[in-house]
Structure 1
Amino acid sequence: MSKPTGKEVDPRDRAFGKRVAELRKERGMTQQQLAALLNGRTPSWMSQVERGIQPVRRFDLLQELADALGVSTQALDPGAPIPAPSTATVHVVSNDLDGARLVIAGHPALAALLGNDTEQPDLQSLAQQVDEIWNLTHQGQYSEISDMVTALIPALERAVRTAAAEDRPQAYALLARAYQALAAAFARQGDARASWVSADRAVTAGEMSGDLFLVFAGIYRMVHAFVRIGSMAEAEHAVRGAIGALSERPDLPPEGLSVLGSLHLAKALVHARCGQRSEAKVEIEKARQVAGRLGEDRNDYNLEFGPTNVAVQAVSTAVDLGDAGEALDIGQSINAEALSPERRGRLLMDLGRAHAQRRHMADAVGCLLRAEEISPETVQNHTAVREAIKELVLVAGSKASPDLMLLAERTGAME
C-alpha cells in the first residue's frame, strides 16, 4: 500500500508507530540500533515509522520488525493477520521422532482389528512403559521416546481390542496417556501436525476409558498443537468449550481442578500469541485462583499444575507480550526446583528471552546456557529461543562472546 497523501497521518499508522517506539525504548535501543537489525533500513526510515509517516503494511516487513523487537506480530500489531502454516518457517533441528511419526502414519493394530491377534495384554508392564514415556517427555529425551513408542503404541492399540471387558477402560486410559505424551513431545520439537493427530487420538481414547478428565487433558494438548500450527481460532474455540464445560461443575475434585487450571493457562497462551494483553492476564488470574483452590503443586495427567506453574506461565505470557520487566520481576520469586527438567528449562528460556528484550546480554546468555544444561533438546528446538539468540548475536556484533556464538551454532540460530 502506498503512503497516505496530504499532511494528515493515518491514525492506524500513528498508533502503530507509537507502539514501535515504546517497545524500542523499553529495550534500551536507539532508532539506529533497531534499523540495523532490519534488512536495508535506515534510522531515517525508522523515525518515519515511529511518527506514523511510513506505513508498515507488508506482513514480511511486519514480521521482521516484530522479530527485531522480540515480540509476536500480533503483539506489535493486534490487527495483523496470523500467517498460514504454509508461510511460516518451521525449523526442526533434529529428526528424533521419525519412528514415532511412522507409528501414527497408519493404523498400528490392523491384525487385532481383523481378529487375527487375540493375545491378552500385560497391562501392568504397559503401565510402567507409559510412565517411562512421560518421564522421558518431561526430560526432553525425544530419541528415546521414539524408540519406545514404535513398540508401545501398537501394543496399546492391540490391548484395547484384546483385553477382557473389565480391563478395557484401563487399557484405553493407558493409550490416551501415551498419545498425550506423544502430542507433547511432537509439539516441543515443532511438529504441530503430528502433535494434533496424537492429541486427537488421545481425546478419543480418553472418552473410551471413562475418565472424562483425561478427555479434557487431551484437549489441552490439542490446544497447544493448534497454537503451534498458528490456528488460533481453532485453539480458542477448543479451549473455550472445555473451560465452559468444566466450569459448570462446582464440585471438581483435585484432578479436575488441575485440568481446569491448565486450560486457563492454555487460553492465556492463545491470547498472548494474539497480542491480547488484558485477555491473557485475565486467564492467568483465573488460573491463579484455581491454583489457590488446589493449594499445592500437583502432576495430575502430567500437567504439572499448581501455584508454581501458574507463575512460570505468567513469565512466559509476559515475554510473549513484550513485557520483559514484568517477566523478570515474576521470575525472581519462583522456586521451580520441584518441577520437571523440561518445565525448569522452559522458565530459564523465557527469562533468557526477557533479558534479551532488555539487552542484558550476559544475563540472557547465562539463562539460556543454564536452560540448555537442563533440557538441551528443548532449547535447540524452540523457535522463539533461536530468534532471541539471533537478535543477541546481531546486536553484539563483533563483541559477541564465544559462549553466545557457540550457542547460536548449536541451535542453528543464524541459519
Structure 2
Amino acid sequence: MTGPDTKALGQRVKELRRAAGMSQSDLATAMTRSESWVSQVERGVQPVERLSILQALADALHVSVRELRLDAAPPDEVEPEGITQSNDLDGLRVALTGHPALGSLFEQPPSEPMPTLADFRRLADEAWTLTHASSYGALSDHLARLLPSIEAAVRHAPAGDRAELHSLRAKLYQAAAASFTRQDQADAAWVAADRALQAAELAGQPLEVVASLFRMAHAFMRQQHMDQAEQAAKSAVAVMEPRADAPSCPPEELSLLGAMNLVLAVINAREGNRGGTHERIDRARAIAARLGEDRNDFDTEFGPTNVEIHAVSTAVELGDAGLALDVAQQVDPSGLSPERQSRFLLDVARAHAQRRHVGEATAALLESEALAPEQIHDHHLAREVIRDLVQLSEPRVPESLRGLAERSAIS
C-alpha cells in the first residue's frame, strides 16, 4: 500500500484515534510501538503492508479491519511476513532480532558474495552520513542489508581482516544505536550499543569500546535510567581523565573524554543539578579549547561548537531560557552535521517557547525542519514544543505553525 492509499489510511487512523479519545501516545502504547511510528502512519509516510500489523492497529482502535481500511483483505488472506520498506527504523529493528549470523555457527557458507574490506569501509561511512543527516528511513534500509552481511563476513574472512571488520561492525552498530535513541526507541538502541561494545572489544580497540559506552549512555537516558547512564559515562571518565593529563594524549581520546563530560552535563541538567551541569560543561569547554577545533572523532562531533550547543540544551533543561538564548547568539553551528544544527535550533525554539515567544520559536522550528525534517516530525521534544506553541497561540494559530503541526501529525 503506497501513495494515495497510504495517505488515506493515515487519515482514517487519525479520525478513528480521535473518535476513540486517544492521543498518539495512547495508540503507540496499545500497539507497543513508538509515538513516532504512529505519527508517520497518520502522515501517510509509513506504509502498513502486513495484515498482522493492520489487525493490531484495528484492535488498538477497537474497530474492525474493514472499518479501518475498506479495501483490506479478508482475515484468512494473510500476507507473508518479512521486512518491508519503511520510513522509520522498523526494518532495522527486525534486522537486529535474533542471532545476526546463525548460519555461520552451523558452518553454512555465505549465500551471497561478500563485499570487500574496502566496500565495508565505504558502506560504514555511508551509514554515518545518513545518521548525521537524520535520514532514518534510508539508514534503516541500508543497515538492514549491511549488518547481516558484515556479521557473516567477520566469521568467514581471513584472520588478518577480522580485527578491522570487528571495528567496522562496532561503527555500524553505533550508528544504529544513535539513530534508535533519536527516534525514541531506547530498547533497540541499547541492544545495538551492546553489540557495538562487544565488537569493539573483539577488535582490540579500547577507544571504540568507549564510543560504544557513549551510545549506551544515551540509550539509558532515553529510557530514563539516569543511574545507569551516569555509571556508563563515569566509568569511562574515571579511566580516561588521568590519561588526558599527559601532553601526548591523542586528540581522539580527548574528544571521547569531552563527549562523556557532555553526557554527564545532560544527566545533571535533567536531574535539576545546576552546579553539576555547569561543572561538566566547563570541563568539556576546557577539553575543547585544548583541541582548538571542531572534530568528529568516533562520530561524536565533539569540539568547541558542540560544547556550546550542549550549553544551550542544558540551560533549557534547567529552565534558564535567558541563558540559553544568550549562549545561542554566540553559536555558529553551520560547520556541523544537519542533525546537530537541527537539534541546536530545536533547543533555541524550546527556549523561546519557555518565554512565550511564539513567532521566534516557530521560525527556529521551521529552520530546523528544513535541515532535518524526520527529526523535527518525530523527536519527542519537537512534538512537545509544537503542541505547547499551538496552545499558547490559540485561537489564532499562525498558518506557519499550523502547517508544521499538520506535517508532524499533531492534533
TM-score, normalising length from structure 1?
0.77
Q: Does 1:395 align with 2:389?
A: no
| 1:42-81 equivalent positions in 2, closer than 5 A | none
CA contact (8 A) 1:386 1:412 kept: no
CA contact (8 A) 1:121 1:162 kept: no
Alpha-carbon distance in structure 2 between the residues aligned to 1:89 and 1:159: 32
Deviations 1:349-403 (A, max 9, x none): 1001111111111100000000000000011111122111111111111121011
Q: Does 1:237 align with 2:231?
A: yes
Alpha-carbon distance in structure 2 between the residues aligned to 1:271 and 1:90: 26
Deviations 1:165-192 (A, max 9, x none): 1111100010000000000111111101
Corresponding residue of 2:376:
379
CA contact (8 A) 1:351 1:364 kept: yes
Deviations 1:143-177 (A, max 9, x none): 11111111100111112111111111100010000
Corresponding residue of 1:222:
216
Q: 1:141 aligns with which of 131, 135, 142?
A: 135
- What amino acid is aligned across from residue 336 of structure 1 in structure 2? P
Alpha-carbon distance in structure 2 between the residues aligned to 1:159 and 1:191: 28
Q: 2:296 aligns with which of 295, 299, 303?
A: 299
Q: 2:405 aligns with which of 404, 408, 412?
A: 408
Alpha-carbon distance in structure 2 between the residues aligned to 1:284 and 1:322: 16
Alpha-carbon distance in structure 2 between the residues aligned to 1:113 and 1:308: 46
Deviation of 1:279 after TM superposition, in Å, equals 0.7
Corresponding residue of 2:358:
361
Corresponding residue of 2:336:
339
Q: 1:269 to 1:333 in 2, by over 3 A?
A: same
Deviation of 1:277 after TM superposition, in Å, equals 1.4
CA contact (8 A) 2:133 2:372 kept: yes
Deviation of 1:89 after TM superposition, in Å, equals 10
Q: Does 1:99 align with 2:91?
A: yes
- Tell me the secondary structure at the aligned position of residue 254 of structure 2: helix
Alpha-carbon distance in structure 1 between the residues aligned to 2:33 and 2:114: 45
CA contact (8 A) 1:184 1:221 kept: yes
Deviations 1:118-153 (A, max 9, x none): 676511101111100100000011111111111100
Question: Once superposed, what is the RMSD of the aligned Cα atoms?
Answer: 1.8
- What amino acid is aligned across from residue 278 of structure 1 in structure 2? G
Deviation of 1:292 after TM superposition, in Å, equals 1.1
Deviation of 1:412 after TM superposition, in Å, equals 3.2
Corresponding residue of 1:328:
325
Corresponding residue of 1:20:
none
CA contact (8 A) 1:346 1:371 kept: yes
Corresponding residue of 1:82:
none
Alpha-carbon distance in structure 2 between the residues aligned to 1:207 and 1:296: 29
Alpha-carbon distance in structure 2 between the residues aligned to 1:97 and 1:283: 32
- Where structure 1 has 5 or more consecutive residues not aligned to the other structure, the ranges are 1-84
Corresponding residue of 1:166:
160
Deviation of 1:114 after TM superposition, in Å, equals 2.2
Q: 1:195 aligns with which of 178, 189, 192?
A: 189
- What amino acid is aligned across from residue 366 of structure 1 in structure 2? A
Corresponding residue of 1:313:
310
CA contact (8 A) 1:352 1:364 kept: yes
- What amino acid is aligned across from residue 309 of structure 2 in structure 1? V
Alpha-carbon distance in structure 1 between the residues aligned to 2:388 and 2:271: 22
Alpha-carbon distance in structure 2 between the residues aligned to 1:261 and 1:413: 37
Deviation of 1:244 after TM superposition, in Å, equals 0.6
- Tell me the secondary structure at the aligned position of residue 144 of structure 2: helix
Q: Does 1:117 align with 2:109?
A: yes
Alpha-carbon distance in structure 2 between the residues aligned to 1:154 and 1:363: 45
Q: 1:289 aligns with which of 282, 286, 293?
A: 286
- Tell me the secondary structure at the aligned position of residue 333 of structure 1: coil
Deviation of 1:90 after TM superposition, in Å, equals 5.3
Corresponding residue of 2:271:
274
- What amino acid is aligned across from residue 232 of structure 1 in structure 2? M
Alpha-carbon distance in structure 1 between the residues aligned to 2:328 and 2:295: 20
TM-score, normalising length from structure 2?
0.77
CA contact (8 A) 1:268 1:283 kept: yes
CA contact (8 A) 1:232 1:270 kept: yes
Q: Which has the higher contact order (CA 8 A, sep 6+)?
A: 1
- What amino acid is aligned across from residue 213 of structure 1 in structure 2? L
- What amino acid is aligned across from residue 305 of structure 1 in structure 2? F
- Tell me the secondary structure at the aligned position of residue 209 of structure 2: helix
Q: 2:124 aligns with which of 120, 130, 133?
A: 130
Higher mean displacement: 382-391 or 284-293: 382-391
Alpha-carbon distance in structure 1 between the residues aligned to 2:269 and 2:410: 23
CA contact (8 A) 2:114 2:149 kept: no
CA contact (8 A) 2:200 2:206 kept: yes
Runs of 4+ residues deviating >3 angstroms: 118-121
Deviations 1:313-344 (A, max 9, x none): 11111111111111100110111111000000
Q: 1:324 to 1:413 in 2, by over 3 A?
A: farther
- Where structure 2 has 5 or more consecutive residues not aligned to the other structure, the ranges are 1-28, 41-86
Alpha-carbon distance in structure 1 between the residues aligned to 2:261 and 2:348: 22
